[in-house]
Chains A and B, each alone.
Chain A
Amino acid sequence: MLDVLTQVAQLALNGIMTGAVLAMPAIGFTLLYAVLGFPNFAVSGHLAVGAFAGWILNTHYGWPLWAVVPFGFIAAGVLGVATQRVVVEPLRGAASITLAIASVAVALLIENALRFGFGNTLRSYDLPLARDVTIGALRFGPQQMQTAAVAIVVMLLLFALLRYTRLGRAIRATADNASLAAVKGIDTVAIARLVAFVGMGLAGASGVLLGADTAIDPLIGFRLVLAVFAAAVVGGLGSIPGAVLGALVIGIAEEVSTIVLPSDYKSAVGFLLILLFLTFRPRGLLGERRN
């Protein structure tokens, strides 16, 4: 009995660590949705770009993880602004669904560009190996703890930006009502680009953390994308605290599901939760009630 409890506790702990990393692209996805008004499926490609940018710096130039994360953020963020300008802005006025489909094509374009350059082989970051830490009966992987800590720092910075700065207020105003924000003199086009930078940057930074934790290939983001959607939908599409909560729920649910399901089906858990929430509570855990 105690064994089962320990096992569940260990899985829940792993789930929280997974959730912390998952929260970053989920925040990015939900932020992009709130401000730009369409589900931007290109987060998967930008996540992979961040992972590869970090990998180059880490393995070729020997940068440590903490220094590589901001670089992954910037690389994916800059690409995010570029796709915003080249693809999204010219399609302004098109239905949100058209933009969603276009974003799938963007992801395909980016992932294949990576495939062209790096091939399909799995690559790993060059990081010092460390022994697991045991507290009581629970095991903590130092690498995972480090990635979870970095994820938490990044999220705190984002919260501070949104909550306490003028810029953050402008972003929240645009998300609430873009035309009203424009009337008040906010440059909504510039805000949209900034959000593309931050949202895709978050995906890129999480790509670095994921890469440090496992291994990378051009489809690293694609494999995660279902969990990202699930986190955003469970938390409430458009809600940033919701995305964090949703990511933790998905992370824990995926890990605990391995008790009863083969681990190949981890990503099915996210899909199941999407269906359940859309059927019974479409605004998610923390989403606002709106149509």
Chain B
Amino acid sequence: MDNYLIAMATIACVYGLMTVSLNLSWGVTGMVNLGIAGFFGIGAYTSALLTTRLGWPVVAGVASAMVAGALVGAVLSIATLRLRDDYLAIVTLGFAEIVRLVALNELWLTNGSDGISGIPAPIPRGYGYGFSLAFLALIAALLALAAWSASRLQRSPYGRVLRAIRDDADVTAVAGKDVVRFKLKTFALSTAIAGAAGAMYGHYTSFVAPDLFAPLLTIYIFLALTIGGTGNVKGAVLGAFVLIAILEGSRYSAAFLPELSAVQQSAVREMVVAALFLLCLRFRPRGLVPERMGAAGE
């Protein structure tokens, strides 16, 4: 396989982890996470710092990134879960900005806008082509594991409660379910997955910097999930791959507009992404793979 395609597939798998995460919170449970870029950043920095500064093995770094993502997700959701869903949106959006602010300003820890380089990989980079292939296999396996667990969870009685919460939290509470507890656990699980995505990204490229998790990243993930279809894991994973195809395609089509400056080209790309998202919401809100509404007990 072409090196370029392998690299794109690897990035698509990283994005796939984030769409699976967002599907769990927003698609299944109805909790919107507008700070998914922030959790990606938390995961990326946690694992990068532990493996470069303290020499931890990559596996321990990624596991810690998931724990960090889950803890921060739990703290943020505790403040808002008893309130209308809008509040979680406001808090998570603000949170992503704070993560970027800290990453930019705490030079002693994060190296500011220069970022952290030399992050180790779980497979020796010296293998070249072999490294790329092995890493793709690894991240694909991880994505498959996350997707499989998420779809098992979704089909379980637990998942049925989550969908019930999304569709009507009051009725679910009356039916005797502890809505706040379900939401808290699910949100923490989803932010743990986003943390893992960030950590894996750092170990793949060996470099993390605050630019990586600009708010645009969050919009990318929402776009991917909306294209694929919210509420089901297949759509989430498919959406990530379609998103990468769109992003890469727009990179090539930018070559047809050579009279534009680099800033203008990136502005056009971002406008295209935002417009596509709005069009999807309007004309195909259920995505390429619509959620199947199974009969009770299925």
B-contacting residues of A (Cβ < 8 Å)?
33, 38-39, 41, 87, 90-91, 94-98, 100-102, 104-106, 108-109, 112-113, 115-116, 119-120, 222, 226, 229-230, 233, 237, 262, 264-265, 267-268, 270-271, 274-275, 278-279, 282, 291
Asked if B282 lies at the interface with its beta carbon under 8 angstroms from chain A, I say yes
Interface residues of B in 152-186 (CB under 8 A from A): none
Main secondary structure of the interface of B (DSSP, over half): helix
Question: In the bound complex, what is the Cα–Cα distance between A90 and B80 (angstroms)?
Answer: 29
**A271 contacts B95, C-beta separation under 8 Å:** yes
Interface residues of B in 1-55 (CB under 8 A from A): 26, 30, 32, 34
User: In whole Å, how far is B259's beta carbon from the nearest beta carbon of chain A?
Assistant: 13
Interface residues of B in 71-99 (CB under 8 A from A): 76, 78-80, 82-87, 89-91, 93-95, 97-98
**B86 contacts A97, C-beta separation under 8 Å:** yes
**A278 contacts B278, C-beta separation under 8 Å:** no
Main secondary structure of the interface of A (DSSP, over half): helix
**B98 contacts A39, C-beta separation under 8 Å:** no
Question: In the bound complex, what is the Cα–Cα distance between A285 and B85 (angstroms)?
Answer: 20
A-B pairs with beta carbons under 8 A, tally? 125
Asked if B270 lies at the interface with its beta carbon under 8 angstroms from chain A, I say yes
**B271 contacts A113, C-beta separation under 8 Å:** yes
Question: In the bound complex, what is the Cα–Cα distance between A97 and B282 (angstroms)?
Answer: 14
A-chain residues with CB within 8 Å of residue B278 when the two chains form the complex: 87, 102, 105-106, 109
**A108 contacts B267, C-beta separation under 8 Å:** no
Can you name the residue of chain A whose Cβ is closest to the Cβ of B80?
A: A278
Chain B: how many interface residues by the 8 Å CB criterion? 45
Asked if B122 lies at the interface with its beta carbon under 8 angstroms from chain A, I say no
User: In whole Å, how far is B183's beta carbon from the nearest beta carbon of chain A?
Assistant: 14
A-contacting residues of B (Cβ < 8 Å)?
26, 30, 32, 34, 76, 78-80, 82-87, 89-91, 93-95, 97-98, 101, 104-105, 215-216, 218-219, 222, 261, 263-264, 267-268, 270-271, 273-275, 277-278, 281-282, 285
User: In whole Å, how far is A99's beta carbon from the nearest beta carbon of chain B?
Assistant: 9
Question: In the bound complex, what is the Cα–Cα distance between A233 and B79 (angstroms)?
Answer: 13
**A109 contacts B274, C-beta separation under 8 Å:** yes
